[in-house]
Amino acid sequence: MKKFDNLKLCLKNSKDHKTIIEVGNVKIGSGFTMIAGPCSVESEEQTYQTALPLKKAGIDILRGGVFKARTSPYDFQGLGVEGLKILKRVGEELDIPVVTEVLDTRDVEITSAHVDILQIGSRNMQNFALLKEVGLQDKPVLLKRGMSATLEEWLNCAEYILERGNPNVILCERGIRTFDTYTRNTIDMAVVPSIKILTHLPVFIDPSHGTGSPDLIEPMSLSAVGAGADGLMIEVHYKPEEALSDRDQAIDPLVYTGIINKVRKMSDFIKTELV
Ligand code: PEP
Ligand code: MN
């Protein structure tokens, strides 16, 4: 197995070395963290109506994209700064931390002022200017794996953020491109224990982009718990059929509640009975 000796900051320096990231009352890397919310913030009503049942279901962090990296320039591009304000208001109203993706170095400062965690999306994993910029912020960074990035390339991107002085990086596997197109992407579940063996950083699975299919979200969520992930990021919309982005993979809050309950049971079982 490769050792990635060129990495200095993200590798473990002892077996128990572990980064725990505190966001409000949430301790990422200690316990199992559930992030959920719509692919995009579309309006205050849609964000609130989605977030309220999620809060009741016991999520830890609310997600919602406001700067959207869409394949087509004709698709919904997100509400931008107006979306940031909505996300912040809903987060404050429900007393829940929020995460959103930042696409452009010019938006890092304003995004940082509105959210608790900055997300770097798959398409920007190797946007080094952006990595350096978020590395200067005092907010944790959720770094998604590029869709054709090797583990070594991905960890080097985490290293860019750490090297700039930001110690709080969360890795998120969201599926990679393989020869099989049945699922939207292919979740590399073995990357979870690999990251745990090599690094001290928390690792999440995103089964929504990872599979592109509502029916596959629960089984892959439970697999992520079994693989030792620190959390999940799942896309939920209060009216999935009306979602302006990633409609086909969106689940509703009721389906999500079933999933979170099973995930919590499984992670408690592992913690108390299997360790
Ligand atoms: C997202 O989480 O909204 C997103 C765009 O995901 P990814 O960067 O993994 O495609
Ligand atoms: Mn999405």
Query: Distance (Å, rounded) from C-alpha 190 to C-alpha 205?
Result: 11
Per the domain annotation, does 12 fall within a domain?
A: no
Counting from 1 in the atom list of ligand 1, the atom nearest the Cα of 68 is 5
Query: Distance (Å, rounded) from C-alpha 83 to C-alpha 66?
Result: 5
Per the domain annotation, does 150 fall within a domain?
A: yes
Does 5 score more than 90 pLDDT? no
Per the domain annotation, does 20 fall within a domain?
A: no
Shortest-distance ligand to the CA of residue 247: 2
Per the domain annotation, does 27 fall within a domain?
A: no
| pLDDT tens-digit readout, 63-97 | 999 999 999 999 999 999 999 999 999 999 999 99
Distance, C-alpha 144 to centroid of its chain:
7
Nearest-CA residue for ligand 1 atom 3 is 39
Per the domain annotation, does 21 fall within a domain?
A: no
| pLDDT tens-digit readout, 226-247 | 999 999 999 999 999 999 999 9
Per the domain annotation, does 19 fall within a domain?
A: no
Q: Is the pTM of this model over 0.85?
A: yes
Nearest-CA residue for ligand 1 atom 5 is 121
| pLDDT tens-digit readout, 39-69 | 999 999 999 999 999 999 999 999 999 999 9
Counting from 1 in the atom list of ligand 1, the atom nearest the Cα of 124 is 8
The number of distinct structural domains making up the chain is 1
121 lines ligand 1 (CB under 6 A): yes
Nearest-CA residue for ligand 1 atom 4 is 121
Residue % of the chain over a pLDDT of 70:
100
Which residue out of 209, 244, 248 has the highest number of ligand 1 atoms within 8 Å of its CB and is therefore the one to mutate? 209
**Residue 173 Cα to ligand 2 middle (Å):** 14
Torsion, Cα of 91, 92, 97, 102 (10° steps): 60
**Residue 209 Cα to ligand 1 middle (Å):** 7
209 lines ligand 1 (CB under 6 A): yes
Does 3 score more than 90 pLDDT? no
Does 38 score more than 80 pLDDT? yes
Per the domain annotation, does 142 fall within a domain?
A: yes
**Domain extent at residue 103:** 33-68+75-274
Per the domain annotation, does 41 fall within a domain?
A: yes
CATH of the domain at 212: 3.20.20.70
Phi/psi at 53 (5° precision): -65, -25
Tell me which residue of 56, 27, 46 sits closest to 87, measured CA to CA.
46
